[in-house]
């Protein structure tokens, strides 16, 4: 099994999809000669040329709209929105257009577009270049939302997203690009709506997304040394949500922690907690704990940034609270 970084896994998926299918093309700001601000699309211009690796003007609304139009005409565009924060500029097109056309046309029009974007703190990007806005998009019927946390997952999920006939918002995390992991020789598509159990445990389930999957696995390791057995589950697809796997896990462990880097208030974890309390009410032995960023704009100062966003230690504290230690 080859080993790829998360960044290489995304690039590999784009290359393989573009080689096997002329309908797939990519567009975005500075993705061609520069290879994208995070270097994900390096080398693609040389292989596929400017027709299929398209630099766009600095207008997220225009590029999102163009991608949606191409998708409605039968292409499978993958549009890169350089920073998750800039998704707010493309929101009109994604929320009011991409998410609605299939429904409003009575199924006559499909919009098979992928919006790749990245965000996340940990490198002092300041308040406008590291937000985690997945909760904005899981709230919109008509969109599928993916947040991959490992090289293997990002490869299999991006492939499925490209070939899904619905618009998919595909979140990547800035600090995960360099992490390495083994991936299957051939791309193995991962169905949307299927969670992954990273670690099995008996006492408490941590449901984590993005960077917090790795923080939670560290916390689980630490908890194990103190005699607490932790199960770590990554939903991977936030919409549709694999409620079955999450609920089954919590029915087994009777305790739950939800963890993400986005602010806790109104976060994706709030919905997970609601699902769990409703479907597993009589199995819960402790209140569901939530881990997320403090309710503040991200500070530029590394010390303050570190204070605002959650880490393994925060997950561990939450785990211990659920078991009353």
Partner 1 sequence: MATEVILPRLGQGMETGTIVRWLKSEGDAVAKGEPLFELDTDKVTQEVEAEASGVLLKIAVAEGEVPVGKTVAFIGSEGESVPEAENASDANAAQETPSDNLSQALSEQPAVAEPVLEPLPSGNGRIKASPLARRLARELNVDLASLHGTGPDGRIVADDVESAQSGTPKLTSDKLSQAPSVSGELERVPLTNIRKTIARRLTEAWQIPVFQLQASADMTRANALVARLRERDPDVRITVTDVLAKVSAQALMRHREVNAEFTEDAILLHPSANVGIAVAAPQGLVVPVIRGAERLSLAEIAAVRADIVGRARDNKLRAGDLDGGTFTISNLGMYAVESFTAVLNPPQAAIVAVGATEDRVVPVDGELAVRPMLTLTATFDHRAVDGAPAAAFLQTLAESLEDPGLAL
Active-site positions? 60, 129
| E strand segments, 139-296 | 144-147, 168-173, 180-182, 196-199, 204-208, 230-234, 237-239, 256-263, 289-293
Nearer to partner 1, 51 or 282 (CB): 282
- 194, 251, 275, 311: residue in contact with partner 1 (rule CB under 8 A): 251
Closest residue by Cα to residue 89 from 139, 162, 29, 14? 29
Residue 297 DSSP SS3: coil
Q: CB under 8 A: which stretch of 116-124, 163-171, 184-192, 280-288 binds partner 1?
A: 280-288
- 254, 260, 263, 288: residue in contact with partner 1 (rule CB under 8 A): 254
- Cβ proximity of 67 and 49 under 8 Å: no
- 1, 51, 185, 281: residue in contact with partner 1 (rule CB under 8 A): 281
Instruction: Give the shortest CB-148-to-partner 1 separation in angstroms.
Output: 29
- Expressed in angstroms, the distance from the first to the final Cα of the chain is 41
Relative to beta strand 76-81, strand 144-147 is unpaired
- Determine if 282 is a binding residue for partner 1 (CB under 8 A): yes
- 72, 193, 253, 310: residue in contact with partner 1 (rule CB under 8 A): 253
Contact letters (x/-) for partner 1, 207-246, by CB under 8 A? ----------------------------------------
Name the H helices within 73-132. 87-91, 101-104
- Determine if 324 is a binding residue for partner 1 (CB under 8 A): yes
- Using CB under 8 A as the binding criterion, the count of chain residues that bind partner 1 stands at 12
């Amino acid at each position: 099994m080859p080993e790829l970084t998360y960044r290489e896994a995304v690039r590999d998926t784009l290359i393989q999809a573009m080689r096997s299918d002329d309908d797939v093309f990519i567009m975005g700001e500075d993705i061609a000669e520069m290879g994208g601000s995070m270097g994900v699309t390096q080398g693609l211009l040389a292989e596929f040329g400017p027709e299929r690796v398209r630099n766009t003007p600095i207008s997220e609304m225009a590029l999102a709209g163009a991608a949606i139009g191409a998708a409605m005409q039968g292409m499978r565009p993958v549009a890169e929105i350089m920073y998750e924060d800039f998704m707010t500029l493309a929101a009109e097109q994604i929320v009011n257009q991409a998410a609605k056309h299939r429904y409003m046309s009575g199924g006559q029009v499909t919009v098979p577009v992928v919006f790749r974007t990245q965000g996340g703190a940990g490198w002092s990007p300041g308040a406008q270049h590291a937000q985690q806005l997945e909760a904005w998009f899981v709230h919109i019927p008509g969109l599928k939302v993916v947040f991959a946390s490992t090289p293997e997952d990002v490869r299999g999920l991006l492939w499925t997203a490209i070939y899904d006939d619905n618009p998919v918002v595909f979140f990547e995390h800035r600090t995960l690009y360099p992490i390495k992991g083994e991936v299957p020789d051939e791309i193995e598509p991962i169905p949307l709506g299927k969670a992954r159990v990273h670690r099995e445990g008996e006492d408490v389930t941590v449901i984590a997304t993005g960077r917090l999957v790795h923080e939670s696995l560290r916390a689980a390791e630490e908890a194990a040394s103190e005699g607490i057995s932790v199960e770590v589950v990554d939903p991977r697809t936030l919409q549709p949500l694999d409620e079955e796997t999450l609920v089954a896990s919590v029915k087994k462990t009777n305790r739950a922690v939800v963890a993400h880097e986005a602010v806790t208030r109104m976060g994706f974890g709030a919905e997970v907690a609601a699902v769990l309390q409703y479907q597993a009410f009589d199995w819960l032995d402790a209140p569901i704990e939530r881990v997320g960023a403090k309710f503040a704009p991200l500070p530029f100062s590394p010390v303050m940034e570190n204070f605002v966003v959650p880490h393994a230690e925060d997950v561990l504290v939450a785990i211990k609270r659920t078991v009353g230690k």
